Amino acid sequence: MTIEPQQVVAMMDAANVSVERMARHLDRPPSAIQSWRDGTGRAPQYLALTLEAIRRGLQPASVARMIRIDVAAAIGVPASSARYWRLTRQYPIAARFAVAAVDDAKKATSHDVKVLRNIRTGRYYQTHTGWRALPVLGKAMPTISREKVRSLLGAGLVSTTGRYLSLTPKGLDTAYAQTD
């Protein structure tokens, strides 16, 4: 899948990122970025994610982070490219920015952190209206909606036995490592 030059121009304009700023972040000459805009060069297929990360002011993902994730699935590159990057441990800076954008989008919100801490505190069981906690002395435990539990399950933050909710190690880290 190639990105047309008009799409590159539109994406850069929408993200409000200039050629010079993009060249500085990607450590490329401005002529390389300009070649994507005029069609003489080929822009990476994950350019939209890269632009989003630059627009938000994110730092590129570390090489250690890139090794731990499935880059091909995360940013949509061919598996052969991701395999080559992993073997050589050389990841394009644009791909590292793209992974940073994906990771930032997956971060838990402050509401998610509160829900995770409540799940850790109380023992939640499923009812026909949602998930309720067994009584906890001195604390009013809110009911958690099925949709919220579904989203937390999808993110891998909680697990269920069918009757009770529990935090996964990732959920436990998210609940107590993040400070808002």
In the three-class reduction of DSSP (H, G, I as helix; E, B as strand; rest coil), residue 166 is classed as strand
CA trace torsion 133, 136, 139, 144 (10° rounding): -10
Instruction: Dump pLDDT digits (tens) for 41-96.
Output: 999 999 999 999 999 899 999 999 999 889 999 999 999 999 999 999 999 999 99
Instruction: Dump pLDDT digits (tens) for 157-175.
Output: 899 888 899 998 888 888 8
Q: What angle do CA 26, 30, 31 make, to 5 degrees?
A: 125
Distance CA 124, CA 51 (A): 41
Residue 158 has phi, psi (to 5 degrees) of -130, 160
Q: Which domains does the chain have, with CATH numbers?
A: 5-106 (no CATH), 110-177 (1.10.10)
Which pTM does this prediction carry?
A: 0.65
